[in-house]
Structure 1
């Protein structure tokens, strides 16, 4: 049998066994970590790419064990800070993280990486939450549509993701608790051939997660 497939099967079997143990024990914190372990295993097999992130953890491989976390309070803070009005959505992921999806209209002008003031209250709420809870970490992932050159879009996606992290750092969040990734146009969520699809693809995804 192909060595890579053998390793993949091992990861999936181990994940199934661990997930069963977590269910029997009723330990939701362990369950969140297990999803990340399986995701990290798949990431190691497939490579650290947007595809691996989609299959496993959106945050990719991380240092430390991911633990379960009740995200309701932070979701409430994002909504209270005007997140819904800006089109910001939150999703609790299977790997135990919280994805905060920020459309580019709420954050940046077209082809720019300078944050709009309208997003400050939401980012302030996230910064406050991270300062209050030292176990929280954040990964900022920038995405673009396919208009323009691949090199330009890659740089733009990194710069936009970095702008969010830099702002959070300016509000007191330690830089070492955050990371940045730019995926350019390589991880679309909609059809780039339509204006509405391109608008959906231009976004920054923030992944919050808790570690031991």
Structure 2
């Protein structure tokens, strides 16, 4: 039954990375969904990315106290942050993508590098990359940050759910230790759901990237703050 649970996800993900929205990443030489296309083709497989923030936007905005730092216009800052993150993580295996129409920035930490199989301990060799992400979050404080954990299908679904939660928490704890306000951070584990496949350049074989963590950076504007305060 476990294989049947991931079959539809795999088919949808293969379709996703096979579409014309794929581009070649100049940093890694790998094919992935383009920043301009990702919001339109996520569909049901990765549709969780288009949902609201973990715990609800209003409560998170008030709790994080981002009111004084939120910008009136997100556009240019969003473009600057995504460009800098792309440059700072070049060569690390990290994917940096735009979600929707400047709805969020997705930083996808690579499978098999961030964590060993069955482990929620961050590989020390990956600390510099997470340091760069933390620096970006500190430089651009007007955002909320969701950290999502995932696993492969080895082991029971229950074990994988717990492991995915622990991986997300480990990354959030690291970012907080590097100076990111903990009030901006929330975590969620998805276990073995939401398989992600990436097609390597020059090859039609989809590579599963399941033992991963994703960091979703949701920009907050003054408009968002005013709406939250008015509720």
Provide the TM-score with structure 2 as the length reference: 0.59
1:98 pairs with 2:108: no
Q: 2: distance between equivalents of 1:118 and 1:74?
A: 24
Q: Return the match for 1:148 from 144, 155, 160.
A: 155
Residue 51 of structure 2: aligned partner: 57
1:129 Cα deviation (Å)?
A: 2.0
Residue 136 of structure 2: aligned partner: 129
Root-mean-square deviation (Å): 3.0
Q: Return the match for 2:92 from 86, 95, 103.
A: 86
1:51 Cα deviation (Å)?
A: 6.8
Residue 159 of structure 1: aligned partner: 166
Q: Which has the higher contact order (CA 8 A, sep 6+)?
A: 2
Provide the TM-score with structure 1 as the length reference: 0.64
Residue 200 of structure 1: aligned partner: 209
Specify which structure has the higher proportion of helix. 1
Retained in 2: the 8 A contact 1:162–1:180?
yes
Residue 211 of structure 1: aligned partner: 220
Change (3 A) 1:124 1:77: farther
- Which blocks of at least 5 consecutive residues in structure 2 are unaligned? 1-38, 63-69, 199-204, 222-231
- Which blocks of at least 5 consecutive residues in structure 1 are unaligned? 1-34, 36-48
Q: Trace 1:8-47 onto structure 2 (pairs within 5 A).
A: none
Q: Trace 1:159-198 onto structure 2 (pairs within 5 A).
A: 159-190=166-197
Deviates most, 145-154 or 59-68:
59-68
Retained in 2: the 8 A contact 1:145–1:198?
no
